[in-house]
Amino acid sequence: MIPDGLRYSREHEWVKAEGDVATVGITHHAQNELGDIVFVDAPAVGSAVTAGAVFGSVESVKAVSDIYSPVSGEIVAVNEALRDGPEAVNADPYGSGWIVRVRLRDPKELADLLDAAGYKAYVEGGSA
C-alpha cells in the first residue's frame, strides 16, 4: 500500500506533485497505526506551510497525531469532505482522504523526500 509515483516523508505523509501544485495526505501505514480517524485539523486556504513543520493534526478516538508538511508553500485547497467524513482518511488515504493542496514554493524539496521503494524500506525497518 505504497503507490509508485508519490513522494513520501519520514513522518508518513505522501505528496503527489502535478506541476507546481502538490496534494498531501497521510500514508496507509499512518492511518493504520492511528485507528479510526474521527477528526482532521488543517489550516485555512492561504496559509503558509514549511517543509518539516507541523501544520495540522489528525485525531483518532484515542490520540492526537501531528501532521508535518512535507513541502513549503501556500495552501490552495483543503479537503472539506473530511469535516463530516474523516473516516475517508482510513478508507482511501491516497485518494478521497487527501488533506490539503499546496502551491509549491520550491519544487526541488521533492527530491529530499523518499520514493516508494525508499519509504517501503523505511517502514519495514530499514534505513533510507
Partner 1 sequence: MPSDAALKRTPLHALHAALGARVAPFAGWEMPIQYSGVVDEHMAVRTKAGLFDVSHMGEIEVRGVEALSFLQWTTSNDVSRLADGQAHYSAIMNPDGGFVDDVLVHRFGPQEFMLCVNAANSGKDARWLQSQANDEVSVLDRSADWAQVALQGPAAGTILTEALGADAPALKRYRFRRADLFGAPAIVARTGYTGEDGFEIYIAPQGAPALWERLLAAGRPHGLLPAGLGARDTLRLEARLALYGQDIDATTSPLEAGLEWIVAWDKGDFVGRDVLARQREAGVRRRLAGFEMTGRGIARHGYPIRVAGAAAGEVASGSYAPFLKKNIGLAYLPAGHDQAGTEFEVVIRDAPVAARVVPTPFYRRTP
Note the residues at the interface with partner 1 (CB under 8 A). 35-36, 38-39, 41, 57, 59-62, 64, 83
CB of 110 to partner 1, least distance (A): 28
Q: How far is the CB of 38 from partner 1 (least distance, A)?
A: 4
Q: Which is nearer to partner 1, 21 or 38 (CB)?
A: 38
Q: What is the Cα–Cα distance from 92 to 89, expressed in whole angstroms?
A: 6
Integer angstrom CA distances of residue 56 from 38, 64, 117: 14, 10, 27
| Nearer CB in complex with partner 1: 22/40 | 40
Rounded to whole angstroms, the Cα distance separating 21 from 126 reads 30
Decide whether 40 or 102 has the Cβ nearer to partner 1: 40
Neighbours of 43 (CB within 10 A): 14
